[in-house]
Amino acid sequence: MRVTLKQIAEKAGVHISTVDKVLHNRPGVSDAVRANVQQIIDELGYQPSKAGRTLQRMGKQYHIVVLLLNVDAKPYIMEGIRKAADESVFDIRIEAHSSDFQDVEHQEQMLRQTAESSCDGIILYPNYDRRIRTAIDEIVEKGIPVITVNSDIRESSRLCYVGQNGARGAYIAGRMMGLLTGGSGKTAVITSAISSENCDYHVATRKREFAAFIKKNYPDIRIVRDIESFENRQYTYDQTRKLLEEVPDLKGIYITCGCVDVVGKAVQEAGRAADVHIVSFEDYPEILELMDQNVIDCTIGSDLTDQGLRSMQIMMEYLVDGKKPDQKMMYIDSQILVRESIV
């Protein structure tokens, strides 16, 4: 049986409310008693009961602000956040806002506005930018916890990051490309925008680490093209067609970003689906469809819904129990998904 406040109080010969004051570092206890009680607490290894605390907090409503970027991942992350709120025993009010990708000003403005109004915590899918980092630091300074989801800002004072390990995903993708191509041949890499690294943290990491992995582990694979998509569908389609024409013996395409469907379409229309191995990220419907048609061989999923779920869980654990997460980085597993992985 777990040790309770009552047991500690008995052992210390004081009342349970005194123990409570010691526990929460509240005034109203003499130094002598405080020291004695503290020692007994340590000795017995007191762990507060979640059930008791939960019951106590029942009345309170929690107000969580969720700021996400308007990208493919958004609805999936949001779904997880709402699910966690529904499953929670507490009354959680979610205030959700979103801003466009790379619209740093807008996100920064929303952050500052949120800091003015009062809320209990912020879940943020951030743009990777210095201004956002500064805003986070100021908000945390005010005592409002911030959790980053899907993309991180490492140097900031956020409570923790919940999401994928970008490098790990890239290594797994690299391994899959090696296995699929037999470890040799020409490969192309498609990223959103090479230059604006700072605004698309994951895409940049996926590109960089994939290249490093291939160089080290599959020296016979040559990355013959680095294509930028600019997340523009028509442009990406055209570029892919051009690629296929110029490199008739292409064996692999690695896609770190969106617009996967038009890449698949281009490969299919060129009649090269059987020869060109495609590895992508996430498990959006259009990607699943292309896997179903055997155009995409595999995709690296990062369970976006679970990311949302976990971020809300961690937030509530902090707000209710005051418990900070063990790790500053809560990585969600990268899963290799093939056609048969899907239900």
Q: What phi, psi does 330 have (nearest 5°)?
A: -105, 95
Which of 1-9, 93-101, 130-138, 275-283 is the region at the interface with DNA (rule: CB under 7 A)? 1-9
The minimum distance between CB 132 and DNA, in angstroms, equals 32
Q: Among residues 35, 39, 43, 53, which is the contact residue for DNA, using CB under 7 A?
A: 53
Residue 332 DSSP symbol: P
Q: Which is nearer to its own copies, 9 or 68 (CB)?
A: 9
230 binds, among its own copies, DNA, none (CB under 5 to 8 A by kind): none
Q: How far apart are CA 173 and CA 280, in angstroms?
A: 8
Which of 24-32, 131-139, 231-239, 266-274 is the region at the interface with DNA (rule: CB under 7 A)? 24-32
**Contact partners, residue 102, CB within 8 Å, separation at least 6:** 127, 196, 199, 200
Check binding of 304 to DNA (CB under 7 A): no
Check binding of 51 to DNA (CB under 7 A): yes
The minimum distance between CB 319 and DNA, in angstroms, equals 12
Check binding of 271 to its own copies (CB under 8 A): no
Of the candidates 210, 216, 217, which has an alpha carbon nearest to the alpha carbon of residue 189?
A: 210
Q: How many residues bind DNA (CB under 7 A)?
A: 31
Q: Among residues 35, 39, 49, 246, which is the contact residue for DNA, using CB under 7 A?
A: 49
The minimum distance between CB 315 and its own copies, in angstroms, equals 19
| CB-based burial, 149-185: b 16+ in 10 Å, e otherwise | bbbbbeebebbbbbbbbbbbbbbbbbbbbbeebeeeb
CA atoms within 13 A of residue 8's CA, in its CB half-sphere: 27
Alpha-carbon torsion (169, 175, 177, 179), positive or negative:
negative
**Contact partners, residue 39, CB within 8 Å, separation at least 6:** none
Which of 41-49, 248-256, 269-277, 311-319 is the region at the interface with DNA (rule: CB under 7 A)? 41-49
Which amino acid, one-letter code, is at 211? A
Check binding of 11 to DNA (CB under 7 A): no
Check binding of 227 to its own copies (CB under 8 A): no
Q: Among residues 179, 198, 242, 323, which is the contact residue for its own copies, using CB under 8 A?
A: 179
Check binding of 91 to its own copies (CB under 8 A): yes
Alpha-carbon torsion (249, 254, 255, 261), positive or negative:
positive
Q: Among residues 11, 83, 175, 208, which is the contact residue for its own copies, using CB under 8 A?
A: 175
Per the CB < 8 A criterion, the answer to whether 338 and 297 are in contact is yes
Which of 29-37, 54-62, 257-265, 304-312 is the region at the interface with its own copies (rule: CB under 8 A)? 54-62
Q: Among residues 55, 329, 338, 342, which is the contact residue for DNA, using CB under 7 A?
A: 55
Check binding of 45 to its own copies (CB under 8 A): no
Check binding of 45 to DNA (CB under 7 A): no
Of the candidates 231, 227, 234, which has an alpha carbon nearest to the alpha carbon of residue 252?
A: 227
Check binding of 7 to its own copies (CB under 8 A): no
Per the CB < 8 A criterion, the answer to whether 312 and 85 are in contact is yes
Per the CB < 8 A criterion, the answer to whether 159 and 147 are in contact is yes
Residues that bind its own copies (CB under 8 A): 1-2, 49-52, 54-55, 58-59, 89, 91, 168, 171-172, 174-176, 179-180, 182, 213, 277, 297-298, 333-341
